[in-house]
Structure formats: C-alpha cells, structure tokens
Amino acid sequence: MAISSLPSKYGIGTFGREAYNFIDFLSESKQSWWQILPLGPTGYGDSPYQSFSSFAGSPYYIDLDMLIEDGLLSENEVTTLDWGDDPTKVDYGKLYENRLPLLAKAAERGLAKDREQFDKFISENKGVADYALYTAIKKHFGMKAWLEWPDEDVRYRKAEALEKYSEQLAHEIEVQEYIQYLFFNQWDALKEYAHEKGIGIIGDIPIYVPLDSADVWSAPSSFLLDEKNVPVEVAGVPPDNFTEDGQLWGNPLYDYDQMKADGYGWWINRIAGAAKLYDVIRIDHFRGFESFWAVPYGSDTAKDGRWVKGPGIELVKTLTNWFHDTRFIAEDLGYPSEEVVQMLKDSGLPGMKVLEFAFDDPEYDAFCPHKYVNNCICYTGTHDNETLMGWKAGADPEIVEKCVKYFGLNDEEGFTYGIIRGGMSSVADLFIAQLQDYLELGSEARMNTPGTAQGNWQWRMEPGKADRELAEKIAAMTVLYGRS
C-alpha cells in the first residue's frame, strides 16, 4: 500500500491521521509488515522510482493538518486550495501547483521556531543539504535539468560557483531544508507508531537514479558520463513477452570500476539513507548487479542494447556485511539466468515469487507455490502488475482456468481470496498482497503499467474501505495459516 494511496482531504495520502488509522487496521488484521513504495521527491511522470534524490523525501507526503496543529499554516490557507475532486485518483498537477508554495509558507514560519533542532538535523544529513542546494539552483534556473543550467561552472560544481549560489540562494536553500525537516519528523513519528503496533516497514530502493537528480549532479564520477557529463549509455531492459521494444528507463549507468576503487562508498551512503527510513530494504532490479542492459544514449527504444557484466556478489556482500543489522529482499524478477540464480543463492537473501506470473509462461513455473523454498517472499502481484481481478479479466481464458484448477478456486470464496489463500498457505517465509487485492478491485486500481509514461501512480483508496470487517476477514486467514 503506497503512502500516496491513503485517503486524504488534500489530494494525496500523507503521514497524517489516515496513515495512523491504516497501521491500526494492519494491527487488527494480524499483519506484521507494511510494504510501501519509495518515498523520494518525484518529477515528470510522477514515478517514485525516478526521484530527484536518494536522500530526500517527497514534500507531498507531509501532512497539512499536522502543520495546522503546529501553527505553521492556517486552516483557511489549506482548505481554500483546489486539491482535485476525485478521491480515487492523485492529481499531481494540482499538487505541484498548490502544495509546494504552501509548504514554503510553512517553512518561513517554522525556521525561527525550530532553529536548534533544524540545525542539528541538517548537520546530520549531508544528502538533504545536497538536495536542497540542487533544488534551489534548479528553481533559480526555471526548473531546467542540471545539464541545461546556463552557468557551466555550477554544472561542473566548481568551488567558487557552489559558494556563490550557496550565498545567493541561502534563504531558498533553508526553505528546502526545512521542508525536509518536516518530512523526516512526521515520518519518524509514524514509523515509531508502527513499531509500537508491531508493524515493520519494508521500503524499496530503486537500483538506478535519474540523470536529473542531486545524486548524479553531486557525484558525476560515479556514473558512466562523457566529458560533458552526458551519459554514454543508459539503463533499460530488453524486449520480452510483456514489452515488444523492451523498456527504456533512460537512467545513467554506474561506473562500477570507479565505485570499486573507493570501496563502493556511494552505495554504502545510499543504503545508509534508506536504512534510516525502512526496517527492511527491497533492492529493486537485483539482477542488475550481476549484469545490466546498456542502451546507447539517444535511442528511441531499448531494443539495441547489450548485456554488460556488473559487480555481482562482491557489491552485494559489501552492502550486506556493512549493514549486517539491516534485512534485505532481492527483487530478482526478470531474466533469471544461472548467474543471477547463483548470485541470489550466494547472497543468502530472499527472492520474490509472484503468483500472477506462475501460469503465464512455462519459464516461470518456479512461481507455483509447490516449488517454493522457505527463503522467499510470495506476492500476489507487485505495483507493476495488474490487480488479481484485472489480471483475470485480461489473461488468456486457458491460463485463468489453469489457475482455477491449481488453487481450487470457487465462487463462494472468490477468485482473489482463493489465490491469497494459495500464497498464505505456501512455505514462503513472508506473504504480501496488495490492498487492492484484498478489496477485490479491478484494473482501475492498477498502480503502474511499465513502459507507459502517463496515468500511473494515481490510485487512492476510498475513505472507509479498510474497515473492521475487512480486518477480521484478513486476520482469520492470517491466523489459520500461522502467519499472525
């Protein structure tokens, strides 16, 4: 359940009352884990996997009612703005237009009030300071990507230019830093409440970062860029059964030779940032550590890419040894080569099994529960998949019939709950279902369709849907299969 999908009066889910109510719902449902999507600030396309920073949080998740309670905003300032009129969809355009200026106003009022705690927060979060400087300069240059900033010296991070803009934009930088201070204060309080209720947070760390990000601007030597800081090749995945042209992600690729030379410090810092947010970290596109699809920069599709060897188990072991108290999940979906299978085995991390994939292709029959081992996480589907009801409506009838026979599905129990039962009764160490599947929703509730740029990440749960009746239904099955 994405934070953005929680109900809210102000256009998008936040860290406010509804998030606390959802944690209560999880507790009543006898659940132990809440998996969320990445929390970083997003740009064009609104994808949480394309964030401006690995170390900052999305201002959209800051709860406005809490800011009213703290005296940083008035109720009139918040309620008179247009947050959209569809409670089931996020309108990111309205959020961008209205929420950011409102938070800047709150920051103006809060900086003096919270100066001591604020200064301490910034001194302990260098990544946030880098993001604030990057954002302030980006605003100064009309929100252009950093490669298009007209001042070449600041593009290349020359010391005099950084000092110049740090002084010139000092107030805007502090505003951006204070917004992050609000984000982390609210998130830390919510996470603490989840822990009190016995709920851990599973977070996602995208394997790549966007070119237009504070990450690449502040550490260009960690990426495969030319002398003008333009990528040589970019990330994607090759054509498969789902996408004829493959997926062209467009992210810059890592210079793993350079990273290895300094002991993978960039990755260590990145995981350290994620470990502050989450109890368990799911590494997105884990197979990219073994080998990755490199597409010539400027290509229209991912078809003309090539496989390039990655750092493999060396980087994985570096991270798991460094963060020996942090738990990880490997998103090992897509192209399960022998080398990837071996890397997962050598890592000791649990991989993923997606029930929707179990019947689509003979190559994926390892996703059938009777083939599971304990050390895996079973999912009905992920944010990139259809809901179970959406999958049923769009799948080949023969595949659906095979699924019905396999799980012994019947009308009394219902299609989705029969498949959920199949996952819960498996030997997988952990079972996770999207809330949309517990609500038996169709394609209208799909979170993301890979390969499409518009219309994603918008679904929101209607108020009151996560109620006591649903909690009792989930709890009964959870207890039945010893997962409470």
Residue type, 88: T
Helices (H), 141-169: 152-155, 159-168
Strand order in the sheet with 291-296: 247-252, 233-237, 291-296, 306-309
The Cα–Cα gap between 53 and 38 comes to 11
The token pair at 274 is 């994620």
Rg, Å, the chain Cα set: 23
Tokens 């800047």 sit on residue: 104
The Cα–Cα gap between 133 and 177 comes to 9
The Cα–Cα gap between 135 and 132 comes to 5
The token pair at 129 is 């300071």
**Which member of 233, 284, 332, 437 is catalytic?**
284
Comparing CA positions, the residue from 309, 267, 269 lying closest to residue 288 is: 309
Whether 284 is a known active-site residue: answer: yes
Tokens 């085995």 sit on residue: 345
Comparing CA positions, the residue from 342, 338, 343, 403 lying closest to residue 367 is: 403
The alpha carbon torsion through 186, 189, 190, 191 (nearest 10 deg) reads: 120
**Length reported for the chain:** 484
**Which member of 151, 339, 384, 413 is catalytic?**
384
Quote the strand ranges of 180-223, DSSP E.
Answer: 200-205
The token pair at 259 is 């990273």
**Which member of 331, 332, 360, 386 is catalytic?**
331
Comparing CA positions, the residue from 29, 33, 30 lying closest to residue 471 is: 29
Q: Is 455 left (phi over 0), alpha (psi -120 to 50) or beta?
A: left
Q: Which long-range contacts (CB under 8 A, 24 or more apart) does 320-328 make?
A: 320/347, 320/348, 320/349, 322/268, 322/271, 323/271, 323/272, 323/275, 326/271, 326/275, 326/280, 326/281, 327/279, 327/280, 327/281, 328/280, 328/281, 328/282, 328/283
Maximum alpha-carbon separation in the chain = 71
Tokens 């959870």 sit on residue: 478
**Which 8-state DSSP code applies to residue 431?**
E
CB neighbours of 31 closer than 8 A, spacing ≥ 6?
A: 199, 474, 478
The Cα–Cα gap between 56 and 264 comes to 21
Catalytic residues: 284, 331, 384
